[in-house]
Amino acid sequence: MQELREKKQRGERITALTAYDYPTARLLDEAGIDVILVGDSLGMVVLGYKDTTQVTLGEMLHHTRAVSRADTHALVVADLPIHTYDTPDQAVRSARELVEAGAEAVKLEGGISRVAQIKAIVDDGIPLMGHIGMLPQSVREEGGYKVKGRTAAEAVTLLEDAHAVEGAGAFAVVLEIVSSGAAREITAALSIPTLGIGSGNGCDGEILVTHDLIGLFPWFTPKFVKPEANVAAEMRAAFRAFIDRTRRTQKASQV
Ligand code: KIV
């Protein structure tokens, strides 16, 4: 966490991607990623839910254990799923479970409204990453994944949220789908690093859902993602090759 802060001070960009399993965590670590997030995006890209609002703590614990078995150099952060941090006491209990499962830090969504939970977790000795801007756990109330910080009033609210999260003790904060101007302003105002997702190039680092980056969830890719691979196409080709080869090959006659 200190290293991430030093990277911000040196102007070196921070890299973060999600993993939900052991091989992906190992591959990310071998590639030199700074932060691995066991995100509750798990719900969509692995478990087949419509959004993150159905993800349970049990599911997060299961996948956090798998990622932590990779024993990475990268910092492993795990998401607190919805309704596991409604009160400060519940937040601490849930965060402790994620740490017991192998997380080195936890992340929760919200700014000023979550200060009590953030302080309680940090006071318990658990490092916390904040998450402001578009909050996927509130997508149903919001009616979609909309850009935040386009109006002056929204930009001020976001800056207040960012200061609140930093003041409560977070070591970094994710800015999700925030207008690039507001993201730049928040990044300049905070001493903790900002990790942007769909928020322009002005943050201290970038975070993405790995499945989006590598083309492993071909049915939906957010507009702001430029995939670097088409793993789904590779998988389809390998599956077809296996099916064709097996159907073409004669069954060996029994002796
Ligand atoms: O759940 C997740 O993967 C996240 C990232 C998109 C930041 O919160």
Is-above-0.85 flag for pTM? yes
Assigned domain for 242 exists: no
Cα separation, 15 vs 230, whole angstroms? 21
Which whole number is the average pLDDT over 94-99? 98
Assigned domain for 250 exists: no
Assigned domain for 254 exists: no
Assigned domain for 247 exists: no
Range of the domain at 173: 2-230
pLDDT at 177: 97
Cα separation, 120 vs 170, whole angstroms? 11
Residues 199-244 pLDDT 10s: 999 999 999 999 999 999 999 999 999 999 999 999 999 999 999 9
Distance 189 CA to ligand 1 centre (A): 23
Assigned domain for 88 exists: yes
Q: Torsion over CA of 194, 181, 179 and 224, rounded to 10 degrees?
A: -80
Q: Determine whether 30 is an active site residue.
A: no
Assigned domain for 245 exists: no
Q: Which residues line ligand 1 (CB under 6 A)?
A: 18, 37, 39-41, 79, 174, 176, 197, 207, 209
Ligand 1 nearest atom to the CA of residue 109, by list position:
8
Assigned domain for 92 exists: yes
Say how many domains are in the chain.
1
Distance 41 CA to ligand 1 centre (A): 6
Please provide the average confidence, as pLDDT, over all residues in the chain.
Answer: 97
Assigned domain for 11 exists: yes
Which whole number is the average pLDDT over 14-37? 98
Catalytic entry in 59, 104, 109, 176: 176
What percent of the chain stands above pLDDT 90? 94
pLDDT exceeds 90 at position 251: no
pLDDT exceeds 80 at position 118: yes
Distance 107 CA to ligand 1 centre (A): 9
We report the CATH number of the domain holding residue 126 as 3.20.20.60
pLDDT exceeds 80 at position 255: no
Contacts of 225 (CB under 8 A, 6+ apart): 198, 208, 209, 212, 213
